[in-house]
């Protein structure tokens, strides 16, 4: 009986194989390429969150022509990366392009799952960069704001993508991600005009357009933007420009750092606590040669307990660059180097905004 069963089973498989060979002889099949998808994801956590919300279903490779149109819409948007100040190779471009070719390629189910995840990863990263700018850490030395918006940002991107179930909706979503102000449109236009002709200009415009998207995406009620390059300050309320003025920024030898921070304190008629480097290199030599200059400059000598030192008790000959156990501050008033108002910031650079007693500084180019 076992032999008969074995023979029957073997015969069955042989019959299938024989029939397949005969069928293939009458109906030859051309070689079928199978595309393998192996690519590390840029943000696997965001991709996992996307599919958790989508109940682990495919998004880009559903049956029907709508999915192929959606895939092509993603590819087309990535193709236009340069106009956003972005680089298409950062968004799995080779794989996205491969799966947007004419539908004559057979994909295994497991490959479809992998490909769908790669498309989602590409879409999340591209949309995030269009929304909040790319490579911001390359241009900003310190950022105390972005981390507080991280969860909100990814939730916004995931929700928008999940609602972009066809090509039209996806294109509308990408459009909504971008700022609507005139400055942004001008930057887009300048980039388009510079492509292929001015690579140096493209580099500067790339930084500008990404920083513009980064600043705008926070949707802050009130904020100040200091443009170090143009030495200008702009104050906005709900994205409406309310004030524009000149500012004085650091010299090339003492550049103003680039950072994002909060204004946590406003002081009227502030003291100026003179930086130690200025005290030792500039003020101390002056005080030693001209002791009366301490008063004429409206300065105060402060001991380690925060008390004002009587100038008559100081023997300036005892002090030098290596020994001066005091701090120096300038008294409040219109002659103070900080002027009559100071804005303290939460940056790590001990940088703040302030008025000045040297109004002529605003006349210099």
pLDDT digits (tens, 9 = 90+) for 320-340: 999 999 999 999 998 899 999
φ, ψ for residue 308, nearest 5 deg: -75, 130
pLDDT at 77: 98
Nearest Cα neighbor of 87 from 134, 120, 121, 44 is 134
Question: Residue 217: which H helix or E strand, with range?
Answer: helix 199-217
- pLDDT at residue 364 greater than cutoff 70: no
**Residue 8 contacts by C-beta under 8 Å, 6 or more apart in sequence?**
none
Phi and psi, residue 293, nearest 5°: -65, -20
**Better-scored residue on pLDDT, 348 or 362:** 348
- Please report, in angstroms and rounded to a whole number, the separation of the first and last CA atoms in the chain: 103
Alpha carbons 84 and 188: distance in angstroms, whole number: 7
Quote the tokens at residue 159. Answer: 């929700």
The DSSP 8-state label assigned to residue 315 in this structure reads -
- DSSP bridge partners of 323: 320
Backbone angles phi, psi at 314, to 5 degrees: -95, 130
Rounded Cα–Cα distance for residues 163 and 176 (Å):
13
Rounded distance between C-alpha atoms, residue 255 and residue 351, angstroms:
11
Kindly state the average pLDDT of the residues 270-298. Answer: 95
Residue 37 is predicted with a pLDDT of 61
Q: Quickly count helices (H) and strands (E) in the chain.
A: 13, 11
Secondary structure of residue 142 in the 3-state scheme: strand
Domain positions in the chain are 1-28, 44-219, 263-363
Whole-angstrom Cα distance, residue 77 to residue 258? 31
pLDDT in tens, 39-98: 799 999 999 999 999 999 999 999 888 999 999 999 999 999 999 999 999 999 999 999
131-135, 212-216, 321-325, 355-359: least confidently modelled range: 355-359
SS3 label, residue 290: coil
Distance in angstroms (rounded) separating the CA atoms of residues 271 and 298: 11
344 forms beta bridges with 265
Nearest-10 crossing angle of helices 199-217, 182-194:
160
Residue predicted with more confidence, 46 or 26:
46
What is the C-alpha separation between 115 and 95, in angstroms, rounded? 8
Asked whether the whole model's pTM tops 0.75, one would answer yes
Query: Token pair for residue 85?
Result: 């100040």
């Amino acid at each position: 009986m076992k032999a008969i069963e074995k023979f029957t089973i073997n015969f069955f498989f042989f019959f299938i194989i024989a029939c397949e060979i005969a069928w293939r002889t009458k109906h030859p099949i051309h070689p079928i390429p199978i595309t393998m998808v192996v690519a590390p994801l840029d943000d696997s956590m965001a991709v996992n969150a996307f599919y958790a919300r989508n109940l682990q279903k495919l998004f880009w490779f559903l049956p029907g022509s709508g999915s192929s149109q959606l895939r092509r819409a993603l590819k087309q948007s990535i193709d236009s990366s340069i106009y956003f100040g972005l680089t298409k190779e950062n968004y799995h471009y080779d794989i996205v392009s491969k799966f947007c070719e004419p539908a004559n390629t057979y994909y295994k189910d497991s490959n479809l799952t992998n490909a769908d995840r790669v498309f989602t990863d590409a879409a999340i990263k591209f949309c995030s960069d269009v929304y909040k700018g790319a490579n911001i850490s390359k241009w900003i030395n310190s950022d105390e704001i972005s981390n507080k918006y991280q969860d909100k940002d990814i939730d916004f991107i995931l929700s928008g993508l999940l609602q972009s179930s066809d090509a039209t909706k996806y294109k509308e979503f990408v459009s909504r991600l971008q700022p609507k102000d005139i400055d942004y449109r001008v930057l887009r236009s300048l980039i388009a005009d510079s492509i292929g002709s001015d690579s140096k200009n493209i580099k500067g415009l790339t930084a500008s357009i990404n920083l513009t998207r980064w600043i705008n995406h926070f949707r802050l009620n009130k904020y100040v933007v200091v443009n170090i390059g143009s030495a200008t300050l702009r104050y906005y309320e709900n994205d409406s420009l309310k004030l524009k003025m000149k500012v004085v920024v650091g010299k090339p030898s003492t550049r103003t750092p680039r950072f994002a921070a909060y204004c946590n304190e406003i002081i009227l008629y502030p003291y100026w606590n003179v930086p130690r480097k200025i005290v030792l290199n500039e003020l101390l030599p002056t005080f030693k040669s001209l002791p009366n200059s301490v008063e004429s400059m409206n300065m105060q000598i402060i001991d380690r307990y925060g008390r004002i030192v009587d100038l008559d008790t100081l023997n300036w000959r005892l002090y030098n660059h290596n020994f001066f156990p005091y701090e120096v501050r300038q008294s409040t008033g219109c002659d103070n180097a900080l002027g009559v108002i100071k804005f303290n910031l939460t940056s790590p650079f001990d940088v703040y905004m302030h008025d000045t007693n040297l109004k002529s500084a605003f006349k210099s180019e």
